Structure 1
Amino acid sequence: MDSDLDLLSAQARQRRLLLQAIGGAALAGGLGVSGRGMAQTGPASDASILDVVIMGAGLSGLTSARDLQAAGCESFVVLEARDRVGGRTCNHDLGNGIVSEAGGQWIGPGQTSIADLARQLDVATFPTFYKGKAVYLMGDEKVEEDVSDGPNSNTEIVSKLNKLAEGVPSKAPWKAKDAAALDKLSVGEWLAKQGINNADKIGFNMSVSLTFGTAPAGMGLLHYLSIINSSDCSLEKLEGVEGGAQESRLVGGSQVLSLKMAQALGNKVRLACPVRKIVGWDRDVVELHTDQGIIRTRQVIAALSPALCNQITFEPPLPTGRAELQRRWPAHAPMRKTVHVYERPFWRDKGLNGQIVQVDGPLIWAYDNSPPDGSLGVLSGFIRTGQLPHDPKAAQDTLSAIYAKAMGEQALHPIQFHDQDWGKVDSWSLSCISPMPPGFWTQWGEYLTPAAGRLIWSGTETADIWAGAMDGAIRAGHRAAMEALQALVQLGRNAR
């Protein structure tokens, strides 16, 4: 009953915001305004010109499309460069309806946008498996330890970070009171000033590398604090499993959300359709030059990483600030994720939770990614850049040997192996996450979200909270749809 009430309230909030965005038009059928009402409040009708084109069929772009349709707008299309939907979420098919996630996968407390969407799409969640001991490997040494409270056990340092995060708004970290001073430091420099020991260095190196795709020395302190701010100013919640951002997984894998949204949108989603050039973004009608022809539209939602915008030619050139933000956007954290599949999760019999941390090798972190019923044993691993062969058999054997050192000889005999290097799989990812360096936000942050002409910037990187996460992508999609609807209403008023 409570979940039903939560769903109704979430849908009601979404309808109310969308109705406000298009000028308070009358509710039709309890779902949104009618197409007739939208046409009356929008610009003059011309079937050859779409109201909105959305670039990117990941969580953000598909959320925007879903919101437009719920508001009664049918004059839109979603263009996706890849031959699939989902963006930086993607499932490996393990057979018999079982999948393992190749990209983003977890949701936790406070990530209400993705939880609402999952309920609306009838996608259930299940708890991440974490019971038992983790294994630390360094050279020939092996240590088993309970790390259920996260990798960083120095409560004094964590408390200092949490306190600092209270003053850094996740929506606009460059507006923090001490932004200039904080943005001069890397996380590594700040940690060095705290006099941490080697064990704490290992913990922070691992956690920052996993969350941001770079070592603490490459991560700006201001950005780090802004992400902690998203998580209720709690690093423990950001990095934890129970009660943390890794608490739950989605039945059917994270890509199932995009697959379900795209299925409902039908032929409004066009795959293998990259945008090569955008002409006239500063005029009322914009031309998008794609591999499938030229499309004309009144509004564009760019639901993609700022770094990917560099692959598009803009005529006229974008304003200097926005162009420089895109040019300088860090895109060096592609991430590589592997999957070993076993007949069963044998490590659980030994009191192990499947988590393996290798301090000095190709593996950053492995974890139990088995299905809810444990019918298969699945170990997923995050890999250090450039330290694992790309030949599939060599990569499988190298990791199998590491897993065997941690958990026994059964690990030498996987029945499947999958490897997703996001820097090599296609031209449309570049970087799974954005490790913002020191000095970036205070110089370029103000150009991140303001629209440029008819261009609305979206994608998880633009989210007010949980930027970089799946939840942030969905939040950005909602915002972009409202901005597009408001712009269409204004165009209609100007035309009258």
Structure 2
Amino acid sequence: MDSDSNELSLSARQRRLLLQAIGSATLVGGIALSGRATAQVLRAGQDAVLDVVIIGAGLAGLTAARDLQRAGCESFAVLEARDRVGGRTYNHDLGNGVISEAGGQWIGPGQTAIFDLARELEVDTFPTYYQGKNVYLVGGAKYEEDLSSGQSASSPIVEELNRLARGVPSKAPWTATNAAAIDKLSVGQWLAQKGISNEQRLSFDASIGLTTGTPPSNLALLHYLSLVNSADCSMEKLEGFKGGAQETRFVSGSQVLCTRMAEALGDKLRLSCPVRRIVGWDRDVVELHTDQGILRTRQIIAALHPALCNQIVFDPPLPDGRAQLQRLWPSHAPMRKTVHVYKRPFWREQGLNGQITQADGPLILSYDNSPPDGSVGVLSAFVRTAQLPHDAQRAESTLSAIYAQVLGTEALQPTQFHDHDWGKVDPWTLTCVASIPPGFLTKWGQYLTPPVGRLIWSGTETADIWASSMDGAVRSGHRAALEALQALAKAGRGA
């Protein structure tokens, strides 16, 4: 047999090995391929052309990178525009081993992908503190309510939302039987039809606004029902603390998941390396033009918020549907979180859980974000950016005065204050959550996840369930890595 025949035979055998490995993969929160067989194929070929380039070193991108490594693939790179990993997770270091999360932080029942990841990375969890009374401020009035049992004050409306959510699949809400009719309504319009009270409106505005980054009046009912569908068709599970998606926190903060995954990547991770241009995404080998030079690759995983893809020039231009999805995707909910640190969580002594909602001021919601041992008191808050001064001293005193109305004068004496406005920290976080308006998903949703040429779309917005959450980001990373490996196998690496 001549040398050409030998090479062809070897290539064919390698391709079969990879296909067999993928075919026998067990998907349990990720991919478990036969690493040795996969590596034999993925390490072959020219070193100058990578098998995969991942854009974005948040939970989605780093999960995809970790899966590639576990499958035996070493021919990849992860490019991150920021000078850090973590994406929309970010820890404030408060000293003495205490942190407070400036970005995504909570997980709950049913979010098995991120629980599994934390266990594998040996990151411990602990319960969010929510015992005691919530406080609502309306003008000069103060109203207290104990919701720590998980009970909802508007159960008939919640039950109806849960029932409607059963017909709106989270993976593709635009395929629901009556999607067109539902997508004409905002959540606010739907609630108005139910004749809810002012107190109920305040509760819905706060909870839905925090989950989606926009008031119910601007939020598509179809999109919100798809989020409820993710949470076992339970709004209580989506929005709640006890038994809900806010029930659990990470010891050392949520960003630690990304930092631990990044440690295993070595020089495969490139920070401060934004991608400016992608050339030839419709060809076998694609060029990525970055601030650190040009890379060539066979597959790209774009682990980015859809609107952030607009900062990249695609040559040739993307197909119209995908291009319009990116161009029109809402990106006006960057969120702003503040942190007050106290000597102890003194509000607990008053039977309060630190959750304060203000109807007509800068405070959307405060909550107890103290460490597991309660050694210091940490009161974090989501705030209305336009109503809170950007000067740190004025912002701190404004919020302290609001807290003092509920918690007493001790609230006026924080030992630290931190303010993280995601709309100002860098150009790479356009928005923190998906605030989808009516009419958007039924027109553009179909273009969200299908690959385009060598481009594979990832990020929490593309998740089949728990989209917009950290769990959704991890799930999307698992899916993207598997798609990349399958694409490489199909191409046969020249076989």
Q: Same fold by TM-score, threshold 0.5 exceeded? A: yes
Work out the CA distance in 2 between the residues paired with 1:119 and 1:231: 21
Other-structure match for 2:187: 187
Work out the CA distance in 2 between the residues paired with 1:24 and 1:346: 55
* Residue pair 2:148, 2:242 contacting (<8 A) in 1 also: yes
Alignment of 1:107 onto 2:107: yes
Cα offset, 1:24, TM superposition? 4.7
Other-structure match for 2:433: 433
**Residue type of the alignment partner of 1:199:** E
1:6-405 alignment runs, 5 A limit: 22-24=22-24, 32-34=33-35, 37-38=37-38, 40-42=40-42, 45-149=45-149, 152-405=152-405
Cα offset, 1:490, TM superposition? 1.1
* Residue pair 2:19, 2:489 contacting (<8 A) in 1 also: no
* Residue pair 2:150, 2:243 contacting (<8 A) in 1 also: no
CA shift digits 1:48-85 (9 cap, x unpaired): 00000000000000000000000000000100000000
Structure-2 change in CA distance of 1:24 and 1:236 (3 Å): closer
Cα offset, 1:22, TM superposition? 3.6
Work out the CA distance in 2 between the residues paired with 1:131 and 1:303: 37
Work out the CA distance in 1 between the residues paired with 2:35 and 2:180: 49
Work out the CA distance in 1 between the residues paired with 2:240 and 2:286: 45
* Residue pair 2:42, 2:73 contacting (<8 A) in 1 also: no
* Residue pair 2:43, 2:73 contacting (<8 A) in 1 also: no
Other-structure match for 1:475: 475
* Residue pair 2:208, 2:239 contacting (<8 A) in 1 also: no
Cα offset, 1:270, TM superposition? 0.7
Other-structure match for 1:12: none
Work out the CA distance in 1 between the residues paired with 2:41 and 2:169: 36
* Residue pair 2:21, 2:33 contacting (<8 A) in 1 also: no
Cα offset, 1:38, TM superposition? 3.1
Work out the CA distance in 1 between the residues paired with 2:97 and 2:189: 47
Work out the CA distance in 1 between the residues paired with 2:151 and 2:420: 25
Other-structure match for 2:4: none
Aligned partner of residue 344 in structure 1, secondary structure: coil
Aligned partner of residue 433 in structure 2, secondary structure: coil
* Residue pair 2:121, 2:257 contacting (<8 A) in 1 also: yes
Cα offset, 1:33, TM superposition? 3.6
Cα offset, 1:199, TM superposition? 1.1
Work out the CA distance in 2 between the residues paired with 1:131 and 1:54: 42
1:454-473 alignment runs, 5 A limit: 454-473=454-473
Work out the CA distance in 1 between the residues paired with 2:23 and 2:75: 18
* TM-score normalised by the chain length of structure 1: 0.93
* Residue pair 1:19, 1:71 contacting (<8 A) in 2 also: no
* Residue pair 2:35, 2:70 contacting (<8 A) in 1 also: no
**Residue type of the alignment partner of 2:345:** P
Cα offset, 1:19, TM superposition? 7.9
Cα offset, 1:148, TM superposition? 2.2
Other-structure match for 1:15: none
* TM-score normalised by the chain length of structure 2: 0.93
* Residue pair 2:90, 2:101 contacting (<8 A) in 1 also: yes
Work out the CA distance in 1 between the residues paired with 2:149 and 2:210: 16
Aligned partner of residue 106 in structure 1, secondary structure: coil
Overall identity of the aligned pairs, in %: 70
Structure-2 change in CA distance of 1:468 and 1:151 (3 Å): farther
Structure-2 change in CA distance of 1:122 and 1:40 (3 Å): closer
Work out the CA distance in 2 between the residues paired with 1:352 and 1:377: 13
Work out the CA distance in 2 between the residues paired with 1:332 and 1:51: 35
Alignment of 1:445 onto 2:445: yes
Work out the CA distance in 2 between the residues paired with 1:316 and 1:235: 43
CA shift digits 1:361-394 (9 cap, x unpaired): 0000000000000001000000113110111111
Structure-2 change in CA distance of 1:20 and 1:456 (3 Å): farther
Work out the CA distance in 2 between the residues paired with 1:271 and 1:201: 44
Aligned partner of residue 357 in structure 1, secondary structure: strand
* Residue pair 2:135, 2:357 contacting (<8 A) in 1 also: yes
Other-structure match for 1:4: none
**Residue type of the alignment partner of 2:367:** Y
Work out the CA distance in 1 between the residues paired with 2:88 and 2:153: 31
Aligned partner of residue 109 in structure 1, secondary structure: coil
- Structure 1, unaligned runs of 5 or more: 1-17
* Residue pair 1:21, 1:485 contacting (<8 A) in 2 also: no
* Residue pair 1:150, 1:239 contacting (<8 A) in 2 also: no
Cα offset, 1:465, TM superposition? 0.1
- Structure 2, unaligned runs of 5 or more: 1-17, 26-30
Structure-2 change in CA distance of 1:452 and 1:43 (3 Å): farther
Work out the CA distance in 2 between the residues paired with 1:364 and 1:59: 27
CA shift digits 1:204-242 (9 cap, x unpaired): 111111111111110000000000000000001111111
Work out the CA distance in 1 between the residues paired with 2:209 and 2:264: 37
CA shift digits 1:432-479 (9 cap, x unpaired): 011110001100010000000000000000000000000000000000
Other-structure match for 1:488: 488
* Farther-moved stretch of structure 1 (378-387 vs 149-158): 149-158
* Residue pair 1:54, 1:302 contacting (<8 A) in 2 also: yes
Cα offset, 1:152, TM superposition? 4.9
* Residue pair 2:43, 2:74 contacting (<8 A) in 1 also: no
Work out the CA distance in 1 between the residues paired with 2:42 and 2:490: 8
**Residue type of the alignment partner of 2:114:** I
* Residue pair 1:152, 1:203 contacting (<8 A) in 2 also: no
Alignment: residue pair count: 474
Aligned partner of residue 237 in structure 1, secondary structure: helix
Work out the CA distance in 1 between the residues paired with 2:125 and 2:19: 30
Aligned partner of residue 294 in structure 1, secondary structure: strand
**Residue type of the alignment partner of 1:147:** L
**Residue type of the alignment partner of 2:445:** G
Work out the CA distance in 2 between the residues paired with 1:20 and 1:130: 49
**Residue type of the alignment partner of 1:267:** D
**Residue type of the alignment partner of 1:329:** W
Aligned partner of residue 382 in structure 1, secondary structure: strand
* Residue pair 1:19, 1:33 contacting (<8 A) in 2 also: no
